[in-house]
Amino acid sequence: MIQSVLIFNQQGKPRLVKNFNKTLNNSQLVNQSFKLVQDRNQACNFVSLGDYTLVYRNYATLFFCLVIDSNESNLGILDLIQVMVEALDRLFESVCELDLVFHFDQVHFIVDEIIQGGLVIETNVNQIVNNVNEQTLRRKKSQEAPLIPNSGWFSRLKKT
């Protein structure tokens, strides 16, 4: 099971922290994870954390890390990170740190499309991007719609 999804920059500043295990301490986990991966070479993308394993991948200025238990495949999770990055790349056209900062809602949508409750539910990049685009479109439409459509109460208020 996936315990946590972490994305942070090269300075260790978290850009996404999503825990599926309530017993893990967020700030301690981010700090410990960053210290473990910041100076490692690219020879191995797996770090043992006692009962858990940290699987990570460095893309440009971002570290994508997933904390997993022994029931998950390390290589499968490495592929899942690739799926996550491909989905972000398609949505933002070459994702960068600023995309994660200014479009955090869409980043959360992507992670939620891929992982729910610590379990992988979708790995098809096309389906993930389509679902996120549809969700974003629905949200924009709901923000544009009036709260009380065609009630006329506001026009009556102006006349008095």
pLDDT tens figures, 12-34: 899 999 999 887 777 788 888 88
Q: What percentage of the chain reaches a pLDDT higher than 70?
A: 89
pLDDT tens figures, 123-150: 999 999 999 999 888 888 888 766 665 6
Distance, in Å, from the CA atom of 114 to the CA atom of 124, rounded to the nearest integer, reads 9
Q: What is the pLDDT of residue 22?
A: 81
User: Binning pLDDT at 50, 70 and 90, where does residue 39 land?
Assistant: confident
Strand partners, 18: 5
**What global pTM score does this model have?**
0.81
Is the confidence at residue 153, as pLDDT, over 80?
no
- Is there a contact between 4 and 18 (Cβ–Cβ < 8 Å)? yes
The residue among 98, 102, 37, 91 whose CA lies nearest residue 64 is: 37
Is the confidence at residue 97, as pLDDT, over 70?
yes
Is the confidence at residue 160, as pLDDT, over 60?
no
Distance, in Å, from the CA atom of 82 to the CA atom of 45, rounded to the nearest integer, reads 13
Strand partners, 46: 55
Q: What is the pLDDT of residue 152?
A: 60
Give Cα 95 distance to the centre of its chain. 12
Q: Which domains does the chain have, with CATH numbers?
A: 2-146 (3.30.450.60)
pLDDT tens figures, 54-74: 999 988 889 999 999 999 999
What is the sign of the dihedral through the CA atoms of 63, 92, 83 and 51?
positive
